[in-house]
Structure 1
Amino acid sequence: MPDPSPVFGREASSRPSRASLRTAVVWDVLKDALDRRVGTTGKAALDVLDTGGGSGNFAVPVARLGHRVTVVDPSPNALFALERRAAEAGVADLVTGVQGDVRGLFDVVERGAYDAVLCHGVLEYVDDPAEGVRNTVAALRPGGALSLLGAGLGGAVLARALAGHFTEARTALGDPDGRWGAGDPVPRRFTAEQLTGLAEEAGLSVGAVHGVRIFADLVPGVLVDTEPGAAEALLKLEAAAAELSAFHAVATQLHVLAEKPA
């Protein structure tokens, strides 16, 4: 079966793409979790649910591993793009797109039917993040894994400060939702403790927490694009720092991997 990593722009013959710098940590953790689940269940093909999966940035690579993926997304345009991307990747038979959202998840999918659930970039936009996590957990089979990715509070504060917007940085730091002002396009941000708390309150056992885009969003693009070896070195730096809790506080995104009791 083909290695799905080229979807993330990580071909061996070229430098990592901007997309891979932002997704590589999550992808590596997710792939390992799926491999472990295969070993535990003895099933070659898992059932994976991607809530808010959009055009398939993760769903298509997961399908290229041979797993069956259901993507739930409220946008018809995103689902159309998903269908096209899956067809181009040769996995149209393994990817199903369904219009819906995490709040009404069980209007469109079955409870307890999935070996893994992806909830990436969803909790920032729902009215009740705790309800969203509970629904994703209810979609899991016993022993299933939840991949949870949310916007990080510390990364936003640091980014606003480095851009010279000190008042906005302070506003975000003190705001209950981590917003820097009325023009902030992100409705809600999280600390690592908040995300892990949501998972644990929903009955999951947290296995790992990773900082994502710790440096990638702060390093000038011209440096990464022009300096020989810079992209590869930055990718390795992101991976090395991802598990260190000291860097979680400044990550643009936070990733939590948790499991449902067997």
Structure 2
Amino acid sequence: MSDPSRPRAALRTAVVWDVLKDSLDRRAKSAGGQVLDVLDTGGGSGNFAVPVARLGHRVTVVDPSPNALFALERRAAEAGVADRVRGVQGDISGLFDVVERDGYDAVLCHGVLEYVDDPAEGVRNAVGALRSGGVLSLLAAGLGGAVLARALAGHFKEARQALDDPAGRWGEGDPVPRRFTADQLSALVADEGVDVGAVHGVRVFADLVPGVLVDTEPGALQELLKLEAAAAELPAFHAVATQLHVLGEKRAAEAA
């Protein structure tokens, strides 16, 4: 979990953090146990960057918000990893204005593709920042989870609109500009030279369970975390997940 002191926050991050940490550990081991260079695009205040730095890796966070980067600096200092975390103002569309190509062992692209004008360009830039064999961690809003949430709230017209809309939006008031299916995300990644290793459904149940139940029922949070982990890799649950996580590895460039 990214922050054990915030158990409710773990519901949003536990599945992704567990598989990401394992992937980084494998990458570091294959490189002789070396420190990795990790890029976190849209990394904000460091929800993932700081825990990755705690593992001993160097992390560069690119984010358009000065306030988020200020919070990142403070958070990294409090965690004792300020020397391993660097914040840079920018966005994924202009990524190579602020970071180098082929310079990172892992790239995190979490909560970014929903908001960019061209998701394919966003994935292309994220992959372009990776070294051969590098790890791509991609997290984006899932279509099915939004449809299910609107329907369970009694907003059936909005649920149908999200289902039919090419961008997966339920209406003008929808704060998320774009949502994806697992197949769409996997195709975006594969088209840019990444071998998809795993797809995970994130927050399959967490957003549907009443918060009061999780907060007051003894042991409920831990059991819900276990349930989320068990369902994450099952394709049947990808269609109803609030978010989808794709983990892949950049293919080596083919010889001319």
Alpha-carbon deviations, 1:158-197, whole Å to 9, x = none?
A: 0000000000000000000000000000000000000000
Q: Corresponding residue for 2:219?
A: 229
Alpha-carbon deviations, 1:93-148, whole Å to 9, x = none?
A: 00000000000000000000000000000000000000000001010000001000
Given candidates 55, 70, 76, the residue that maps to 2:45 is 55
Q: Corresponding residue for 2:103?
A: 113
Distance 1:179 1:188 in 2: 6
Residue 132 (1) aligns with residue 132 (2): no
Q: Corresponding residue for 2:192?
A: 202
Distance 1:124 1:172 in 2: 14
Q: CA deviation at 1:44?
A: 2.4
Give the partner amino acid of 1:237. Answer: L
Question: Partner of 2:166: helix, strand, or coil?
Answer: coil
Q: Corresponding residue for 1:23?
A: 13
Question: Partner of 2:45: helix, strand, or coil?
Answer: coil
Distance 2:30 2:123 in 1: 24
Alpha-carbon deviations, 1:20-54, whole Å to 9, x = none?
A: 01100000010001001011111421000000000
RMSD of Structure 2 on Structure 1 (CA): 0.9
Distance 1:229 1:204 in 2: 39
Distance 1:31 1:191 in 2: 24
With the length of structure 2 as denominator, give the TM-score of the two structures.
0.97
Distance 1:18 1:249 in 2: 23
Residue 85 (1) aligns with residue 67 (2): no
Q: Corresponding residue for 1:161?
A: 151
Distance 1:214 1:26 in 2: 13
Question: Partner of 1:63: helix, strand, or coil?
Answer: helix
Q: Name stretches of at least 5 consecutive residues in structure 2 with no aligned partner.
A: none
**Structure 1 residue runs of 4 or more that deviate by more than 2 Å after TM superposition:** none
Residue 8 (1) aligns with residue 8 (2): no
Distance 2:173 2:11 in 1: 27
With the length of structure 1 as denominator, give the TM-score of the two structures.
0.95
Distance 1:246 1:82 in 2: 36
Residue identity over aligned pairs, in percent, reads: 81
Contact 1:103 1:131 in 2 (8 A): yes
How many residues are aligned here? 252
Residue 255 (1) aligns with residue 250 (2): no
Q: Name stretches of at least 5 consecutive residues in structure 1 with no aligned partner.
A: none
